[in-house]
Amino acid sequence: MQSETKPACLKRLSRIEGQVRGIARMITEDRYCIDVVNQISAVRAALARVEDEIIKDHVGNCVEYAIMSGDKAEQRQKVSELVDALGRMGR
């Protein structure tokens, strides 16, 4: 992972961690269901942004390196991993 991507993702994940704790607190406090659902939606969107950054980093580094290496097996592996990950993302 690129040196600038890692701290940015970790910072976002720390915020997300706080949001998840907040959701647990909301449930404990019997907050209105739709308010809880809205917060869950916000966490999912934040996780998707982190996921996007990591995918971009993977393409810009791991996949690019495999292409530049000329190693056909490594190229196939990295592209296959990327396609599988994108398929799991469901977008």
CA 51 to the chain's CA centroid: 2
Going by CATH, does the domain composed of 5-89 fall within 1.20.58.2030? no
pTM: 0.84
pLDDT tens profile 18-60: 999 999 999 999 999 999 999 999 999 999 999 999 999 999 9
How many CB atoms are located within 10 Å of the residue 66 CB?
A: 19
Per-residue confidence at 91, pLDDT binned at 50, 70, 90?
A: low
Let me know if 89 is exposed, middle or buried by CB neighbors in 10 A (0-12, 13-18, 19+): exposed
Per-residue confidence at 3, pLDDT binned at 50, 70, 90?
A: confident
Mean pLDDT of the chain: 94
